Every structure is written in structure tokens, then in C-alpha cells.
Amino acid sequence: MDQWQEDGPYRERQLQRLLLLKLGQVSREMEKFNIAEYIALLNNPRRYLLVNFMGGIARGLGIALGATLLAAVVIYFLQRLVMLNLPLIGDFIADLIKIVSEQL
């Protein structure tokens, strides 16, 4: 008998074990990345639109709140700089604060 014929069943079992190990790894990776949930989301357009709409609203509110807080902090520090009464910078900042106050 040929050597390859004798090793055939043994080699085939090794390949099957290797295939099962790789399949298990792929399965764990898919679970880790929630592929099944993502595919279910893509198959339900109404839920997909709702999730994206809610995410957009949350991002918009976050940007608006963040910009408001940043502007408030900047105006607060500008007001403190005006109180220091620095000659050139103080006048410029006073004009900026006056413009902002008029807009509010």
C-alpha cells in the first residue's frame, strides 16, 4: 500500500479537527462583534431608522450642550480679563462681551 493511502483517514481526522477549531474561533468572533444582532437590525428597516434617528438626536443635543458650556466658560474668563483692566485687551474684550450681551 502507498503511504498516502495509509495516512488518509488519520490526515482526514486531523483536518476535521482543525476545521472544527477554526469554526469555533469564527463563531466566537461573530458573537464578540454581535454580528447576529447587526444583521437582525439591517433586516428591520423601521428599527434601523429609529436607532439612527435617536442617535442623531443624542449627538445633536450633545453638540449643542457642549458648545453652550464652552461659550459660557469663554465668556466667563473674558469677563474676568476685563476686570483686570488691561489696556488694549480689556477694551477689545469689553466690546466682545457687549456684543454678546446685546445678542442674548
- Pairwise CA distance, residues 24 & 8, whole Å: 24
97 contacts 75 by C-beta, under 8 angstroms: yes
Confidence of residue 88 (pLDDT cuts 50, 70, 90): confident
**DSSP 8-state secondary structure symbol assigned to residue 20:** H
Q: What is the mean predicted confidence (pLDDT) over 63-90?
A: 85
Q: pLDDT value at position 64? A: 97
Confidence of residue 92 (pLDDT cuts 50, 70, 90): confident
What's the pTM value of the predicted model, to 2 decimals?
Answer: 0.50
Task: Write out pLDDT tens, residues 4-60.
Answer: 555 678 888 899 999 999 999 988 887 888 877 888 888 999 999 999 999 999 999
